[in-house]
Structure 1
Amino acid sequence: MDVSEVDISVTDVKTKRVPGLGIAFTMLACFFFSLSSIAVKLIEDVGVYTLSLSRFGVQILILLPIVTYRRNDVDILGPDGLRKILWLRGLFGSLCVSTLYLSIKMMDVGDAVTIAFTSTIMLPLLARIFLKEKLTVVEIALCFASMFGVVLIARPAFIFRGSSYKTVNPVGVLIGLVGALCQALSMLTIRKLGKTDAAVNIIYFSVFGCVICFPIIAFSEGVSYPCAGDLLFFFSLGVLGIVGQFFLILGLRYERAATVGVARSIQVIIAYIMQVLILGHIPSVMSLIGSGIIFVCCVILGTTRVIKDRRRNSAAK
């Protein structure tokens, strides 16, 4: 899941709605985000932070000329009153990408992507804490249900001792949950940023990512280089991220944000399909059940938002 770049500010753009088109664009975004996760898994001899640095660097190289060309319309530093929020968005967004890559290296791709999607369930809880938004009983119930799904994916030894199911690396699960928390916090900052240009938004999180990755690579992980066969995957990470973001923005232009949120849940299914077809890794029954629970929780939460959105629009009329 590459939700670190979701820019819901584009929902303010008035575009004629074409039935099904926004959903189709969202599906394409999910495809490219899942492909990016598979690419991370395929590159075996390169450190996680080097992979993250490749992604952040390619995104800057692609977007900086675009923002420079549009300098009369876009301030690369962002709006005056929102720059501190942009710093937070950059911090949480870059941490989200790095932790997602770490969890993918330690777990199956489908499991890692599914755990990352718990950020959708965490968001209402964080919105209650930081934005004082109302938290419903349904949202609380979905949070507990999704955590049960995570337990089935992780299969901790103290619960599944003596069973035939292989336990998942608990560190990978914990890192995945930390990444989901960072993603939820990143989404909160994006909500505060409002109409900030999407390119500026992504450049901030890419620059912060480079600042974080450089010292870790220099003093901890060490410098590593991809072999000739992995170069395509190595440099594709940033391209796939931007292409996925492009289609997601198009989806948000043609469809409500809540509806797109429901459609994006399909990325869980796409990730598992790619895991089987490309990597040849067959998920366990418990992983599929746990992922199914989290998937259903995301769909229910998104559907309730769609209903609320339509009621609000009807009341406004």
Structure 2
Amino acid sequence: MASPLAAVPTDADLRRERLHGVLYMLGAALGFSLMSLLVKVASAAFPSMEIVFVRSAFMAALTFAVLRRDGAPPLGVDRRTLALRGVVGAIALSLFYVGIGRLPLGDAVTIQYTAPVWTALAAAVLLGERLRPLVLVGAGLSMAGVVLVARPSVLFGAGAALDGLGVAAVATAAVLSGLAYTFVRKLRATDRPMAIIFYLSWIGAVGSLPFALGGAWVWPSGWQWTLLLGIGLATHGGQVGLTKGMARLEAGTASAIGYLQVVLAFAWGALFLGDDVDGLSVAGAALVVSSVLLVVRRARSG
């Protein structure tokens, strides 16, 4: 029988775990940013809901296989909350993909990254968590950042404004993502991460299929199969990195590393899509990042 002392992690073990956590979170940021880039590219050839269906079906099959391998029940424990998270998350994902097709990549990801602020607000309403002043300040900064990125015509003139439908789609996706993450926080006490992802995936696949078939379905050819496969693999890599990174790091550190997604999105847009990166977008992104930092600081202070 092993000595109880053998189970106590050493300082070296803790440092190794933190390093692995940082690497996982960096991988998650890279994976999700590449997913956004590939979705943007795919949007030029495929309807948004077809992309949502292919991505969701791929993830459903993959996560189901993992759950079966681990001997875990795919239907989970808290099925009602799992279903709610799946429906809200699937709608958010669909709207985000619609917005990516209509907006510059960096701007779309910046607006989507307001989701942690909405998570804090939703947790106060649904889970009874205390709503602290820093969260309200963060919400204000977040909205100011979105205004700078979206540049509504009433403030900046019609020539400066981004596509209104695209902005509305991504902004709504961010709010719904915040609500979905609140459900995830509740589910951590009852269900495995893969079960949560499985519900999101199969509900997304079932919900998007009628819209995908009812639209102008486009069969992939040649390299397009690789493009769609890349979306699924990048998403899976991001989800795995996020799940394992969050398990090894405190929330503040993990969230701070996640800001890299915004930077990478602007970089991919400039390098591969010819997107212009102007001062207003950078300022808006800085405000959004600042808003999330305030929310994280509130979470760490208890």
1:185 to 1:103, Cα distance in 2 relative to 1, 3 A: same
Question: How do residues 1-317 of structure 1 correspond to structure 2 at under 5 angstroms?
Answer: 16-18=13-15, 19-43=18-42, 44-71=44-71, 74-79=72-77, 82-161=78-157, 166-195=160-189, 196-219=191-214, 221-308=215-302
Q: Tell me how large the CA RMSD over aligned residues is.
A: 1.8
Corresponding residue pairs, total: 288
Could you tell me which amino acid in structure 2 is paired with residue 135 of structure 1? L
Could you tell me which amino acid in structure 2 is paired with residue 207 of structure 1? W
Q: Per-residue deviation at 1:173? A: 0.8
Could you tell me which amino acid in structure 2 is paired with residue 254 of structure 1? R
The 1-side partners of 2:221 and 2:152 are apart by: 36
1:22/1:251 contact within 8 Å kept: yes
**Which digits, 9 at most, give the CA deviation of each residue in 1:166-200, with x for residues without a partner?**
21001111111110111111111111112411111
Q: Per-residue deviation at 1:152? A: 0.8
1:118/1:180 contact within 8 Å kept: yes
The SS at the match of 2:101 is helix
The 2-side partners of 1:64 and 1:87 are apart by: 16
The 1-side partners of 2:29 and 2:236 are apart by: 12
Q: Per-residue deviation at 1:279? A: 1.7
- Identical amino acids, percent of aligned pairs: 25
1:17/1:254 contact within 8 Å kept: no
Q: Per-residue deviation at 1:275? A: 1.3
Could you tell me which amino acid in structure 1 is paired with residue 273 of structure 2? L
Q: Per-residue deviation at 1:64? A: 1.8
Gaps (5+ residues) in structure 2? Answer: 1-7
1:55/1:237 contact within 8 Å kept: yes
2:92/2:173 contact within 8 Å kept: yes
Could you tell me which amino acid in structure 2 is paired with residue 25 of structure 1? Y
1:121/1:143 contact within 8 Å kept: yes
Which residue of structure 2 lines up, in the alignment, with residue 8 of structure 1? none
The 2-side partners of 1:234 and 1:166 are apart by: 32
Could you tell me which amino acid in structure 1 is paired with residue 29 of structure 2? C
Q: Per-residue deviation at 1:37? A: 0.4
Which residue of structure 1 lines up, in the alignment, with residue 3 of structure 2? none
The SS at the match of 1:283 is coil
Which residue of structure 1 lines up, in the alignment, with residue 5 of structure 2? none
1:27/1:263 contact within 8 Å kept: yes
**Which digits, 9 at most, give the CA deviation of each residue in 1:95-147, with x for residues without a partner?**
12111111110101111111111111111211121122111111111101110
2:141/2:290 contact within 8 Å kept: no
1:17/1:255 contact within 8 Å kept: no
The SS at the match of 1:17 is helix
Gaps (5+ residues) in structure 1? Answer: 1-13, 309-317
Could you tell me which amino acid in structure 1 is paired with residue 14 of structure 2? R
1:145/1:293 contact within 8 Å kept: yes
The 1-side partners of 2:199 and 2:155 are apart by: 42
Could you tell me which amino acid in structure 2 is paired with residue 204 of structure 1? Y
Could you tell me which amino acid in structure 2 is paired with residue 100 of structure 1? F
Using structure 1 for the length normalisation, give the TM-score.
0.86
Could you tell me which amino acid in structure 1 is paired with residue 229 of structure 2? F
Using structure 2 for the length normalisation, give the TM-score.
0.90
Q: Per-residue deviation at 1:222? A: 2.9
1:60 to 1:68, Cα distance in 2 relative to 1, 3 A: same
Could you tell me which amino acid in structure 2 is paired with residue 145 of structure 1? L
